[in-house]
Chains A and B, each alone.
Chain A
Amino acid sequence: MTTTDRTVRRSVAGARRELVVLGAVVVVLVALVLVGLGVGDIPLAPGQVVAALVGHGDTVSDFVIGQLRGPRVAAALLVGASLGVAGGIVQSVVRNPIASPDVIGITSGASASGLTAIVLFGVSGVGLFWTVLVGALVVSVLIAGLAWRRGITGNRVVLVGIGVAAMSVSVSGWMLTSGTVQQAGTALLWLSGSLNAVDPGIVGVLAVAFVVLGVAALVQSPRLTVLTLGDEVASSLGLRPNRAKVLLLLTAVCLTAAAVATAGPVSFVALMAAPIARRLVGGGRVALGPAAAVGAVIVLASDLVAQFALPGTTLPVGVVTGVVGAPYLLWLLARSR
């Protein structure tokens, strides 16, 4: 058997395994969606949930699912999937599992611009989407520009990102101290990443953005696989590494911005999703599809915990992902440096 045969065979097996994993995660996801739509002050049986979803529900279940729980669950799915893909892209481009958008400052920049818009100009809904997008792009250009040395590589971008994140956080702090307490409360809730007050209009925008950007990411994912081999190999295979990296990062930044605009910066999802997906799939594959599914599972499950863990209070989902994610990140640091 020649080496090529073996590689092809392994690649086919890997692709099959990726599909199997994706299927398994999607099954978990469907179960979580049924729980998320069914559990609450008005409990609905899975049968009622399915009936309402296919259009045969009664008035109560239609209202509960269509108006109350539907947008929340949809937002959780889309936010998690967007962050999962964004994290997978950035980690692979920078070739560092720690370099997710929330560690290298993209998320903090996006949330600082969103918070400024909320507190100073009372922006909400779709307007917030565009503000956050512009903020995220500006901050990313700043980080990439400051870290650029014949391309985007290594720890430099992480450390520059930490510096830029510190500035963004201080702008957020400024916004928290400049309004009334009520404004500060709302702003802080958004800043910690919450699905408690999701705007149905922005969920629609997020859905469109996710489809467009997700397709863009899938189209580019073969280049991502080549880039993980290193710049020299990538350019000897006919790829222009810096151009490919910029386009990939642009996609990731837009995905992050869309998620942040919807739910605020839900911490550490982008960090955790892709490495977990990669571990499930195995063989060092980039696996953006599974990353999206794992991200959605994380946010949906965390939001269920956030809603029902403490009776009487609904925590922001970002607090739950933060509590889960911080130890993971510390373990990653201790292991990999």
Chain B
Amino acid sequence: MNRVQARFPWRTYERALRALTTRSAITERAHGVRVASLPMRSPSSAPPAPSSVPRLVGATVLAVVVLVVAVALSIAFGSRPIPLAAVFDAVTHPGRDDEIGLIVLGNRVPRTVVGLLAGAALGVAGAVMQGITRNPLADPSVLGINSGAALAVVAGIALFGISGTAAYLPFAFAGAGLAALLVYGIASVARRGLTPVGLALSGAVVAAALASVTTAVLVTSQSLLDQLRFWQVGALAGKDLGAAGVITVPVLVGLGIAFALGRSLNTLALGDELAASLGQRVVLVRAVGGLVTVLLAGSAVAAAGPVAFIGLAVPHAVRRLSGPDHRWTILLSAVVAPALLLVADVIGRVVAYPGELQVGIVTALIGAPVFIALVRSKAVRGL
């Protein structure tokens, strides 16, 4: 039996119930919920208890170590081989203006910082989306949010001649928001409601349609194509600290709201009816979650282009350590996702040496098999 399925509903259920019963006897009384009368499984048939706090702390420490290693790799490797000692020297003595200093501080450090922010944004956006849609296939790229942001940026460049991450940002937010509304709208007017398959299909269709419009814009102008052909597959190469500076505030705000939302997502995992009867404003949680997703995915696209599948793969990987508690899933995703993005970027620099493979291509080649594995597993009901 698939581990995700084996763990997901029951452990979320139990954890959330525990959280709720300790938190609010008021809610319980107000809504007349008798916890003991709910159909809990007997202890003997229940799966093992949720991850203990020491285990979660251990997982976090491990994730941080992995992230530090990824950052080190990202600064140490590149198309120009530089001895590690010289790299270390350049990092510890900023202000050198020789060639090595310029490459390390002017090139590798900025792209690493952009990768950290974009990776965290995409990973957490995926975790929140999976939470608010209760859909294991949700991710900003699968559901077309990234394509919407990318199309809006490309259209902004073509129609209004905008340039630079700061100018991309509002367009990316608008595009991501409209795509999110479109996908959610289609999936929710569908006859059988918001099934995982329906949502994933609508997202794939919206993504394909938006990408074909983007292509149409790019076909009309060779200079536009030259400017955007690397950005539109998702790339960290050539980013400066300005790009990182522009998205720092929206990404941090988005991460903060996402952490705060974790507890509500745990309740939502019980199902709409039960969550509502426990006093949760389901629509409000979904709306805030949707806004956070747009904020995070839009920022990532504005800085690094539409990087695919990070938000899909990371929360699933992390859940094996963190269990179903969204607070821990979001926290660990914020640490592991940038590590994966940076490692993918390093792989792209190594495999295509002396050229570079854009990071979005590497993440799609890593992430799409994860998506297929999820589809093949029984995690997606109704297949």
Binding site for B on A (CB under 8 A): 98, 102-103, 146-147, 154-156, 158-160, 162-167, 169-171, 173-174, 176-178, 181-182, 184-185, 188-189, 191-192, 267, 313, 315-316, 318-319, 322-323, 325-326, 329-330, 333-337
Contact = CB atoms under 8 A, between A and B. Distances in A.
Nearest to B137: A159
B229 A177 contact: yes
B222 interface: yes
Interface stretch (B29-37, B55-63, B208-216, B282-290): B208-216
Nearest to A146: B372
Contact of A174 (B202, B204, B357): B357
Tell me which of A98, A159, A178, A318 has the highest count of chain B C-beta atoms within 10 A of its own C-beta.
A159
Nearest to B364: A170
B383 interface: yes
5 contacts: A164-B372, A166-B141, A171-B361, A173-B361, A177-B358
Interface residues of B, number: 55
A176 to B, nearest CB: 5
- The interface residues of chain A, by DSSP majority, are classed as helix
B186 A330 contact: yes
Interface stretch (B86-94, B192-200, B262-270): B192-200
B226 interface: yes
Contacts of B226: 181, 184
Interface stretch (B1-9, B126-134, B320-328, B374-382): B374-382
Contact of B219 (A158, A315, A329, A335): A315
A336 B229 CA distance: 36
A164 B372 CA distance: 8
A323 B368 contact: no
A170 B215 contact: no
Contact of B233 (A155, A170, A313, A329): A170
A333 B200 contact: no
Most buried by A among B211, B369, B372: B372
Nearest to A148: B376
A165 B358 CA distance: 18
Contact of A334 (B190, B200, B375): B190
Given A192-B219, A335-B191, A167 B365 contact: yes
Nearest to B372: A163
Q: Which 8 A-B pairs have the closest CB atoms?
A: A326-B209, A170-B364, A173-B233, A322-B212, A319-B216, A337-B190, A163-B372, A167-B368
B311 to A, nearest CB: 13
Interface of B: 137, 141-142, 182, 186-187, 189-192, 195, 197-198, 200-202, 204-206, 208-209, 211-213, 215-216, 218-220, 222, 225-226, 229-230, 232-233, 308-309, 355, 357-358, 360-361, 364-365, 367-369, 371-372, 375-376, 380, 382-383
A155 B204 contact: no
Residue from A171, A177, A184 whose CB has the most chain B CB atoms within 10 Å: A177
A65 B278 CA distance: 73
Contacts of A171: 361, 365
A319 B212 contact: yes
B205 A174 contact: no
A4 B369 CA distance: 50
A140 B201 CA distance: 19
A170 B204 contact: no
A334 B364 contact: no
Contacts of A322: 209, 212-213, 216
Contacts of B187: 333, 337
B251 to A, nearest CB: 24
Contacts of B358: 173-174, 177
Contact of B229 (A98, A160, A184, A334): A184
A191 B357 contact: no
Contact of B202 (A102, A160, A313, A333): A333
A267 B212 contact: yes
Contacts of A182: 222
Contact of B364 (A169, A313, A316, A319): A169
Given A173-B358, A330-B206, A337 B201 contact: yes
Contact of A98 (B192, B201, B216): B201
